[in-house]
Amino acid sequence: MMGRSQHATISNLERAFVMTSREIITALLNREIPERMGIFESYWGETIPSWRQQGYPQDVDPGDYFNYDLDLVGGSWFNNSLQVGFEEEIIEETDEWKVRKDDRGATLKYWKNKSGTPEHIDFEVTTPEKWKPWKQKLLTLDERRIDLKTLRHSLQKVRAAGKFSCFGNLFVFEIMRATLGDICMLESMLLEPEWIKDFCATYTEHFKIHHDYMFREAGKPNGVFIYEDLGFSNGLFCSPATLAELVMPYYREFVGFCHDHGVPVLFHSCGDIREAVPMIVDAGFDCLQPMEAKAGLNVVELAREFGNKISYMGNIDVTVLNTNDPGKVRAEVEHKVSALRDMRIPYVFHSDHSIPPDIHFETYKLAVETFRSIGSYA
Average pLDDT on 117-144 reads 96
Q: What backbone torsions phi and psi does residue 244 show, to the nearest 5 degrees?
A: -65, -40
Q: How sure is the predictor about 378, in pLDDT bands with cuts at 50, 70 and 90? A: confident
Return the higher-pLDDT residue of 4 and 339.
Answer: 339
**pLDDT tier at 50, thresholds 50, 70, 90:** very high
Selection from 320, 303, 324 nearest residue 312 by Cα: 303
Distance from CA of residue 140 to its chain's centroid?
A: 26
How confident is the model at residue 13, as a pLDDT? 46
What is the per-residue pLDDT for 117? 86
Distance CA 182, CA 174 (A): 10
Nearest residue to 228 via CA among 162, 283, 294:
283
Nearest to 223 by CA among 357, 351, 40: 40
* pLDDT mean over 41-47: 96
Q: How confident is the model at residue 112 (pLDDT cuts 50, 70, 90)?
A: confident
Rounded to an integer, the average pLDDT of 322-347 is 98
* All domains of the chain in start order, with CATH: 2-82+125-374 (3.20.20.210), 84-124 (no CATH)
280-292 pLDDT per residue, tens:
999 999 999 999 9
Mean pLDDT of the chain: 95
The CA distance from 187 to 209, in Å, is: 29
DSSP designation for 329: H
Q: For the sheet containing 119-123, what is the strand order?
A: 89-93, 97-101, 106-111, 119-123
- Interval 173-205: pLDDT, tens: 999 999 999 999 999 999 999 999 999 999 999
Q: Is 160 helix (H, G, I), strand (E, B) or coil?
A: helix
Gap between the Cα atoms of 192 and 180, Å rounded: 13
- The angle that helices 2-12 and 361-374 make with each other, rounded to 10 degrees, is 20
Task: Give the ranges where the chain is alpha helix by DSSP (H).
Answer: 2-12, 21-29, 47-51, 62-65, 128-138, 148-160, 172-180, 182-191, 193-217, 240-246, 248-260, 277-282, 299-306, 318-321, 326-343, 361-374
Q: What whole-number distance in Å separates Cα of residue 63 and Cα of residue 84?
A: 31
Structure letter (DSSP) for residue 163 = P
CA-to-CA distance for 304 and 252, rounded, in angstroms?
A: 24
The dihedrals phi and psi of 224, each to the nearest 5 degrees, come to -125, 130
Residue bearing the bigger pLDDT, 185 or 9: 185
363 within 8 A of 56, measured Cβ to Cβ: no
Partners of 325 in the beta sheet?
none
Q: What is the pLDDT of residues 345-361, one digit of tens each?
A: 999 999 999 999 999 99
Distance in angstroms (rounded) separating the CA atoms of residues 62 and 362: 14
Q: Each residue of 52-77: pLDDT tens digit?
A: 999 999 999 999 999 999 999 999 99
Q: Read out DSSP for 164-175? A: EEEEEEE-HHHH
Q: What is the pTM of this model?
A: 0.94
Cα–Cα distance for residue pair 262/323, rounded to 1 Å? 42
% of the chain at pLDDT higher than 90? 93
pLDDT score recorded for residue 168: 98
Distance (Å, whole) CA 299 – CA 35: 20
The H or E element containing residue 91 is strand 89-93
What pLDDT is stored for residue 16 in this prediction?
A: 60
Whether 10 shows a pLDDT value over 80: the answer reads no
Q: What gap in Å lies between CA 375 and CA 102, rounded to an integer? A: 43
pLDDT, residue 114, reads 83
Examine the pLDDT at 2 and tell me if it is beyond 60: no
Alpha-carbon span 60 to 132, nearest angstrom: 46
- The terminus-to-terminus CA distance of the chain in angstroms comes to 33
Q: What is the pLDDT of residue 229?
A: 96
pLDDT for 8: 40
pLDDT at 12 over 50: no
Residues 6+ apart with CB under 8 A from 156: 219
Backbone angles phi, psi at 71, to 5 degrees: -135, 130
Interval 143-168 mean pLDDT: 98
Residue 84 is given by DSSP the state T
Helices 172-180 & 182-191 angle (0-180, nearest 10): 110
- CA-based nearest residue to 83, from 110, 109, 101, 105: 105
